[in-house]
Amino acid sequence: MMDEQQGFSYLFGSNAPYIEELYENYLNDPNSVDEHWKQYFSELVLQPGAVERDVAHRPIQESFANLAKTRATSAGTVDENMLKKQVGVLRLMSAYRIQGSGAANLDPLKRKPPVHVEALEPAYHGLGDADMALKFSMGEGDFADMADKLPLSEIISKLKQTYCGNIGIEYMYIPDSKERRWIRNYFEGSLSTPKFSAEEKRDLLKQVTAAETLERYLHTKYVGQKRFSVEGGESAIVGLNYLIQHAGKDGVEEVIIGMAHRGRLNVLVNTLGKLPRDLFAEFEGKAEVKLPSGDVKYHMGFNSDIATPNGPMHVTLAFNPSHLEIVNPVVEGSVRAKQRRRGSDGRAQVLPVLIHGDSAFIGLGVNQATFNMSKTRGYTTGGTIHMVINNQIGFTTSDVRDTRSTTYCTDIAKMVDAPVFHVNGDDPEAVCFVVQAALDYRREFQKDVVIDIVCYRKLGHNEGDDPLLTQPMMYKAVSKHPGTRAIFADKLVAEGVIKPEDAEGYIQAYRDALDKGEHVEQTRLTDYESKHRVDWSKYAGQDWREAVESGLPAADIQRLADKFTSVPENFNLHPTVKKMLEGRKAMAAGEQPIDWGMAETIAYASLVTNGTAVRISGEDSGRGTFSHRHAVLHDQKREKFDQGDYVPLKHMSENQADFIVIDSILNEEAVMAYEYGFACSAPDKLVIWEAQFGDFANGAQVVIDQFISSGETKWGRLCGLTTILPHGYDGQGPEHSSARLERWLQLCSEENMQIVMPSEASQMFHILRRQALRSYRKPLVIFMSKRLLRFKDSMSPLTNFTEGSTFRPVIGDTVERKDNGSVKRIVMCSGQVYYDLDKARQENGLTDDIAIIRVEQLYPFPYAEAEAELAKYPNAKEIVWTQEEPKNQGAWYQTRHRLERMSKAGQTVSFAGRPSSASPAVGYLSKHVAQLKQLVEDALGLK
C-alpha cells in the first residue's frame, strides 16, 4: 500500500493539503478522524528502499514511521480493500482540484478535443465500474450542505461539474491552506454553477447584445477604420459591468481600470457612458481639438460616476499608449495614491482592475514586475482583479509553441500565488460568477486574482487585417461560430426566459439609440461629485517662473535639524551614521557648510511639518545609493526584521504629513510607471523616483516617452513627478556616468518638463521645495552629481537656505573683477564640470580673461537670467559651451541654438567636450583623465 501511495504525487506532494490537514487533526486527537483513517495513519511506515516522488512532506512520513514503531496495530479491524478504495477516491478528488482545469470546457471554438487527463480517470486510482454505486467520504467541509458520504458516480459528477464545466479553477499551488479551503468550498459548495434570476439573465443578454451590436454598427458605418473590436470576447464587457455594479457591496466606491486597445471603445460607450456621437465624431475626424497633439481614440481615457445598487461608483479608465501592459503599474500607483487619500479604509474603497490580452499578459516583462510589487509594503494596493481577454492569438501568432513556454498565459500569476479562474467566454453567466468569486476573494485575502476569459477574436488584429493569411484553420472555426450573443439568446429561449423575437428586439432598440447618438448606458450619473475628487484647476495653466518662498528662517532649520538628528534612547547607531548626524547638527548651527544629503533632508523635513507629504522610491533610496541620505537608520543590534529601524522624518511633529521612503524592487520600468501614476493622482504631494545610477532609467524608456514627456500634450494629464538621476563623469565607465541628458532634452517641448543640473547643495534644497510649493505641475528631472555629494566646494553656507534665498536657474561667475571688460571668453556649462574648469582657470591665472557661467536649469531655458549674465561681459568675443559628455551627447545639440540666439554680433559660439562617441563614457580610467584634461584645456583656450 505504501509503494502505491508513494507513486502518487497528489497525496504527499505540496499540492495535497487535505491529507496533511487530516493527519494534523489525527496528531492532535486520533479520535477526530474516521476509523479507517485512524487505522491508516497508525499503520503507515516509510518502507526501506521506497522511491520518493514529489515528497514535500517527508517530515509527515517520518512521523508516520515513528507512530508505527510506538503504537500497536489493530490488524483486521478495517476492511483493507475498502480503505484502499477510499484513499483512491480522495486521490481522485485531489486530482480534479489540481488538474481539472485541463479538462474543462473552455474554448468556444472547440478546435481540439477535450484534454484527456489520466489522473481524472477513476481507474488510475484503482476504482472501477463496480465501485460507482458505493458510498465514500468526501472529507469534512467539501461540497458544503451535502451528505458526508455519496455514491462514487455522484461524487465524480459533482467534481466534473465543479472543475471541468465552463469554469476551470487553479488554486492548489497556493501555500496558505486557509486560502485553498476558501476557494475549494466556494466553488465546490456551488458546483461552479451560477444562479441568476430570469430578470438578471435578460439584463445580461442586453449587455452582450450591446457589446456585439456596437462593434457591428461601427464595422458597417466606418469600414476599415481601426477600433480593435472586442467581437468574440463580448462577455468581458458583461463581466466588467457586473464587477462595477456589485463591487460596492464590499465597500468599494471607486474602480480604476487599466486596459489596452481591444474592447476599449466598447468599454467607453457601454460601461462608462461616453456619448456615441462623440465617438462617431472621432471616427469622422470632427472631434473638437482641445489638446496640442491629442491621441487616437483607442488610447483615450475617461471617467464617470455610475449608479449601482450600493450607491454611486466612480469609474476611471486610464489613458494608455500602444505599449499595452505599461499602463498596469501606472494604474496601481494611481490607486495607491487614492487609497492613501481616503485613509484607513482606502484599500477597501478603491479597487484596481487590469484588463489584459493573453499574449501580452505572459509576454511583457512589466507584468512580472507589477506582480512582484503587489505584496510589497511600498506598493501594495490590497489586491488587483486581473481580467484576461484571451483571444488565443497574439497579433498573428496563435501557436502556443511560439507564444509562450507555459501551459496557460496566466501562469505568470502563480509567482505571487494568485488563484486563476478560467472561464468559457461563450457563457456570460459563468463569467459573472467568477467575477463575483474574484471580488469575494480579494475582499477576504487582499490579494491579486486572475480571471481568464477564454474567447476568440472575430476579426484581424485590427479591422484592416485579413487573419486568414496567417490563421486559416483558426478562422475557419471562427467563421462557423454563431457568436456569444446568439448562443446565449438561444439558451434563454430554451429556458423560457425570453421569446425568440425578444432577442432581435434588443438589437433593434440598441441600434436605434446609436442612431440618435444618445447615451446607451443608462446608469451614468451626471450630477454626482465625489468628495474625494482632486481639484486640478489650480494646477492648470501655471508658469514655471511662479514665485514661491523656498528659503526658511535659520531658527526653523535649527528646529527641524534638532528633530531629524535625534534617535530613540538606546538606539545603536553605526559609527558612520553617528558621525553623519553630528555633522548635520553642526551644519544646522552654521558651523560648517551644508552638504547635499543635509540639503535634501531639510527640504523634506520642512515640507512634511507643513502638511506636504513626501514619497521617495528607488532601488536604494533609504540609505541613498551613495550613502548620502540615511533617511532610514538601523539599530546595529537589531534582532528582528520588523524592529530596529527608525525614520527620523516620520517623527517631526504630531500632525505632520507622511514621509515615505521605499527601497523598491529591482526594476526601473514598473516602479517609475507606478510613481508616475501616484503623482498624477496626488498633486499635493512631492513624489520622487530615484535611479540607482542615472542611465538605469534606460530600462524605463517607455514610461519616459509615453507618459512623462507626452502625457500632457496627448491626454491633458498634469504630473509633478520628480526624477533624480545620478550623473557625472568620474571614470566609472559607460553605465555609471551618463543619465542620458541628451535623450531627455530631445523630448522637451511646449514646456512639458523641467530639466535641471544643479552644482551646489542649496540648489537641491530649493529645487525640491519649489517643486512642491508651486502650483506648477510638470515632471522635474534632476541630474545629480555623485562626486559633488561630498565635494566641499559644492557645499553651501547656511545663508543660502534662509529667507530670501531661492533657486537660481543661472549662476553667474563668482570672480570679482575691477573691470569685466577684461573678459574675452565666456565659458558656459552645467553640473560638476564647473569645478574642474574653475580650478584650471585659477591655476593658469585666467580669472580676469575668462568668465564661467553655470546654466542650472536647461529646460525651460532661462533666457532672461542667462542674457543678464552674458551682458556683464561686453567685450567677450567667444561663448564656449563646455560639457563632460561626448559631443553627440549631453546638452550641446539641444542648447547650441539657444546660445546662438543670445549671442551678439561678432561673437562666436563653439564647443568644448569629449569627442563624439558610440558609448556614453570610456571604461579606461587613464583615457577618462586624458579626455577631461583635454576638454578643460579646450574650454579655456590652453595649448
pLDDT 10s digits, 703-712? 999 999 999 9
Q: What proportion of the chain, given as a percentage, has pLDDT over 70? A: 91
Residue 838 above 80 pLDDT?
A: yes
pLDDT tens digits for range 563-605: 999 999 989 999 999 999 999 999 999 999 999 999 999 999 9
Q: Quick check: 1 pLDDT over 90?
A: no
The whole-number average pLDDT for the span 510-534 is: 84
Is CATH 3.30.70.20 what the domain over 198-262+273-523 is classified as, yes or no? no
At residue 283 the predicted structure's pLDDT band, cuts being 50, 70 and 90, is confident
Residue with cell 492648470: 540
Nearest to 734 by CA among 914, 939, 858: 914
What's the mean pLDDT in 723-734?
A: 95
pLDDT tens figures, 195-232: 999 999 999 999 999 999 999 999 998 888 888 899 99
Give mean pLDDT, residues 609-627.
95
Give the DSSP letter string of 654-672.
TTPPPEEEEE--S-SHHHH
CATH code for the domain defined by 595-629+658-800 = 3.40.50.12470
User: What's the pLDDT score for residue 684?
Assistant: 96
pLDDT in tens, 308-325: 999 999 999 999 998 889
Is 709 in contact with 753 (CB distance < 8 Å)? Answer: yes
Mean pLDDT calculated for residue range 137-155: 76
Q: Concatenate the DSSP letters of all residues of 6-67 into one string.
A: HT-HHHHSTT-HHHHHHHHHHHH-GGGS-HHHHHHHHH----TTPPPSS-TTHHHHHHHHHH
pTM of the model: 0.91
Report the chain's mean pLDDT, rounded to a whole number.
90
Output the 3-class SS for 248-309.
Answer: HHHCCCEEEEEECCCCHHHHHHHCCCCCHHHHHHHHCCCCCCCCCCCCCHHHCCEEEEECCC
Rounded to whole angstroms, the Cα distance separating 517 from 812 reads 61
- Cβ atoms of 234 and 457 within 8 Å: the answer is no
| Residue 425 half-sphere exposure toward CB, CA atoms < 13 A | 29
Q: Which pLDDT score is estimated for 72?
A: 37
Contact yes or no for 765/596 (Cβ under 8 A): no
| pLDDT number for residue 521 | 75
Predicted pLDDT of residue 4: 37
Q: Please determine, for residue 52, whether its predicted confidence score (pLDDT) is greater than 50.
A: no
Nearest CA to 932 out of 694, 695, 726, 729 is that of: 729
Quick one: average pLDDT of 144-152? 75
pLDDT at 299: 81
Could you tell me how far CA 247 lies from the centroid of its own chain? 22
Burial of 941 (0-12, 13-18, 19+ CB in 10 A): middle
Confidence category of residue 65, pLDDT binned at 50, 70, 90: very low
Task: Give the Cβ contact number of residue 600 at 10 Å.
Answer: 23
Q: Residue 55 above 70 pLDDT?
A: no
Which amino acid, one-letter code, is at 893? Answer: Y
Which residues touch 869 (CB under 8 Å, ≥6 apart)? Answer: 810, 812, 813, 853
The grid coordinates of residue 449 equal 486574482
Same fold, 198-262+273-523 and 813-940: yes
Query: If residue 353 lies in a helix (H) or strand (E), which one and from where to where?
Result: strand 350-357
CA atoms of 67 and 45, how far apart (whole Å): 8
Class of domain 813-940: alpha beta
Q: What is the pLDDT of residues 89-136, one digit of tens each?
A: 999 999 999 999 999 999 999 987 777 899 999 999 999 999 999 999
Domain ranges for the chain, please list them: 2-141, 198-262+273-523, 595-629+658-800, 813-940
Confidence check: pLDDT of 152 > 80: yes
How far, rounded to the nearest angstrom, does the alpha carbon of residue 427 sit from its chain's CA centroid?
Answer: 30
Q: Write out pLDDT tens, residues 655-687.
A: 999 999 999 999 999 999 999 999 999 999 999
In sequence order, what are the residues at sequence separation of 6 or more whose Cβ sits closer than 8 angstroms to the Cβ of residue 496?
none
pLDDT band at 23 (very low <50, low <70, confident <90, very high): low
Mean pLDDT of 863-883: 97
What does the pLDDT read at residue 294? 82
214/225 Cα distance (integer angstroms): 14
For residue 15, pLDDT beyond 50:
no
Residue 145 has pLDDT above 70, yes or no: no
Q: What is the predicted pLDDT for the residue at 381?
A: 98
DSSP tag of 786: S
- What are the tens digits of pLDDT across the range 407-448? 999 999 999 999 999 999 999 999 999 999 999 999 999 999
CA distance 810 to 545: 13
pLDDT attached to residue 22? 67
Q: Is residue 619 pLDDT above 80, yes or no?
A: yes
Q: Please answer whether residues 255 and 313 qualify as being in contact, where contact means their C-beta atoms are separated by less than 8 angstroms.
A: yes
Give pLDDT, residue 297: 74
Note the pLDDT tens digit of each residue in 879-900: 999 999 999 999 999 999 999 9
Q: How many CA atoms lie within 13 A of 605 on its CB side?
A: 26
CA 122 distance to own-chain centroid? 44
